[in-house]
A = this chain, B = another copy of it.
């Protein structure tokens, strides 16, 4: 068949296919992603999506009129009005009066998230000394705090302590509870089962369902570093692909790629603490290997090393930063990360260590050319996991992050 022949035939078939081009699955190969459709989609799913879209728009832009939202989302004013009506009835959106300033036309009625309609509970299990909790509003502002010392409890005792903290948070709340979010150390599956958390002596603990039964509200449980990076994403106005490294008793990370949290095939994504760094041995690790990243970077190890040789403080921190950079460089290169965030004790991380990591990653990747690799401390301090836990709930219940 001639070239022209093939083309004509194709054009004819296109015509025969009628509207199919316009109907093409949106995003089938958008932004380099291939979607493999796996579940049916019904019209009501579209409704849910558009509901979340309206909420999301108000979350990020805030103080918008129905017409503004319509323009921003591409939905018609009529549809937005309908969705907003539904959301107002649920208390998730409130009218906040008319827009001031003089413009032609009927004045716009401004809308905002109904901050007081619900409260969210967040729990952070990642600290070695205490379980910490908070009551937050729908915008992620912390309203109340609670804390229960851990005192070395593990296993069922630790679980009882979580229950205790959850109960206290429920009693501290003054509005209907949208849900409870928990950031836990260890490996957590999508159903909120803590597959393993050695520090707490947990294995295959169905924490989500246990807590859901206890508080009678939706519960989301995820890894603490994953919660942290969600917080950074939502509140730290960080865009695009990024990785958050959380240094504490151990070392873990959360990865946000293309706006999606990476969970990993065995739900262990971000578990970089036991990756071996360098080929020159290193301290023995609790996992049995030598030279794991944790042996270089975990806070207790660093503190012990500095205690032994106070004069070497800067050198110790620089070496720790360099080791972190060596582990991160292949990851930054492979994932084309534009932003690395550190979370943990600022006294250890902020300064020499961060600088050494930044330099090492730059030296060992192409980042020196693209030049825009950012490595910085989190802006959310110690509340990062708490606020991330709240984000998970808001995201799960309202489809908004």
Contact = CB atoms under 8 A, between A and B. Distances in A.
Interface of A: 1-3, 6-7, 9-13, 16-17, 20, 23-53, 56, 73-75, 89-91, 117-118, 167, 170-171, 173-177, 190, 215-217, 220, 222, 226, 230, 240-241, 243, 253, 255, 257-272, 274-276, 278-280, 287, 289, 326-331, 333-338, 363-366, 370, 391-392, 395-401
Nearest to A76: B40
A176 B50 CA distance: 37
A25 to B, nearest CB: 3
5 contacts: A25-B49, A32-B267, A241-B264, A274-B333, A275-B330
A214 B322 CA distance: 51
Nearest to A173: B6
Contacts of A23: 44, 47-48, 51
B337 A396 contact: no
Given A53-B40, A265-B241, A334 B89 contact: no
A401 B36 contact: yes
A26 B365 CA distance: 39
Contacts of A337: 264-265
Contacts of A29: 220, 392, 395-396
A274 B365 contact: yes
Given A23-B51, A264-B335, A333-B274, A36 B259 contact: yes
B264 A6 contact: no
A24 B167 CA distance: 26
Contacts of A264: 241, 335-337
A25 B3 contact: no
B35 A399 contact: yes
Nearest to A32: B263
Contacts of A363: 276, 289
A140 to B, nearest CB: 14
A89 B18 CA distance: 10
A245 to B, nearest CB: 10
A396 to B, nearest CB: 4
Given A271-B366, A363-B276, A90 B176 contact: no
Q: Which residue of A35, A217, A270, A337 has the most chain B CB atoms within 10 A of its CB atom?
A: A35
B333 A330 contact: no
Nearest to A19: B44
A34 B261 contact: yes
Given A171-B3, A175-B6, A259-B36, A30 B335 contact: no
B52 A28 contact: yes
A318 to B, nearest CB: 14
A354 B373 CA distance: 32
A175 B5 CA distance: 9
Given A34-B395, A333-B275, A74 B39 contact: yes
Contacts of A397: 24, 28
The 4 closest A-B pairs by CB, nearest first: A264-B336, A32-B263, A25-B399, A10-B176
Given A52-B25, A216-B7, A336 B16 contact: no
Nearest to A178: B10
A13 B34 CA distance: 39
A179 B91 CA distance: 49
A253 B177 CA distance: 46
Contacts of A338: 265-266
Contacts of A265: 240-241, 336-338
Contacts of A391: 34
A122 to B, nearest CB: 15
With a 10 A CB-CB cut-off, give which of A47, A272, A329 has the most chain B CB atoms.
Answer: A272
Contact of A263 (B33, B269, B330): B33
A231 B66 CA distance: 45
A392 to B, nearest CB: 6
